[in-house]
């Protein structure tokens, strides 16, 4: 537990802060959405949904760094085009905190394929295809811990 009342281990993702269980997740605004000039709209939505953005940076991933991030998909047929796309332009990576951050951020993003995403979700609004789907979010606590550490040194 540090001085702000947060437990320090990311493994303990659901941190007790007062009565509320705060969880961390990694969010990415992908190159398609950065090129569309909708960073501001997406960040505004993140804040409106009650997330705290506790880390944020703009990066242009190398092919190798994109491959490392998506290593879990290395045997999938879309691995090469996905990592080409993710290294094709700038991205925004963010550490988000909120109650149930992982599942809530996935709800706000909508289904992976924008065509299947609910109206009002970010991927439905800004995504173009299953690959160019505007945003990324971690899918479970161990993945969130790994993904956050891939981009941020969180104590
Ligand atoms: P993301 O949330 O970044 O996690 C992995 C990404 O792989 C996913 O979003 C999609 O962009 C991409 N992806 C998943 N399934 C497919 C698919 N069948 N074809 C192409 N890309 C995919």
Name the closest-CA residue to atom 2, ligand 1: 136
Contact assessment for residue 55 and residue 154, using Cβ atoms and an 8 Å cutoff? yes
Q: How many Cβ atoms from other residues are within 10 Å of residue 61's Cβ?
A: 21
Q: Ligand 1: distance of its center to the CA of 136 in Å?
A: 9
Q: Ligand 1: distance of its center to the CA of 4 in Å?
A: 36
Global pTM reads: 0.89
Average pLDDT across the chain, whole number: 91
- Give residue-wise pLDDT tens across range 39-59: 999 999 999 999 999 999 999
Q: What is the CATH number of domain 15-151?
A: 3.30.70.141
Pocket of ligand 1 (CB under 6 A): 78, 82, 112, 130-131, 133, 136
- Structural domain boundaries of the chain? 15-151
136 is catalytic: yes
Q: How far apart are CA 149 and CA 155, in angstroms?
A: 10
Strand partners, 93: 28, 57
Contact assessment for residue 33 and residue 125, using Cβ atoms and an 8 Å cutoff? no
């Amino acid at each position: 537990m540090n001085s702000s009342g947060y437990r320090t281990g990311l493994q303990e993702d659901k941190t007790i802060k007062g009565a509320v269980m705060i969880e961390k997740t990694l969010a990415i605004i992908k190159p398609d959405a950065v090129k569309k000039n909708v960073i501001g709209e997406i960040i505004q939505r993140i804040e409106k949904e009650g997330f705290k953005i506790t880390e944020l940076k703009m990066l242009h991933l190398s092919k190798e760094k994109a491959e490392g991030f998506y290593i879990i998909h290395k045997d999938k047929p879309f691995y090469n085009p996905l990592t080409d796309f993710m290294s094709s332009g700038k991205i925004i990576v963010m550490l988000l905190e909120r109650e149930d951050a992982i599942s809530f951020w996935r709800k706000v993003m909508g289904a992976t394929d924008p065509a299947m995403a609910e109206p009002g979700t970010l991927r439905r609004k800004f995504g173009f295809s299953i690959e160019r789907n505007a945003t990324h979010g971690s899918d479970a606590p161990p993945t969130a811990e790994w993904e956050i550490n891939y981009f941020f040194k969180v104590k």
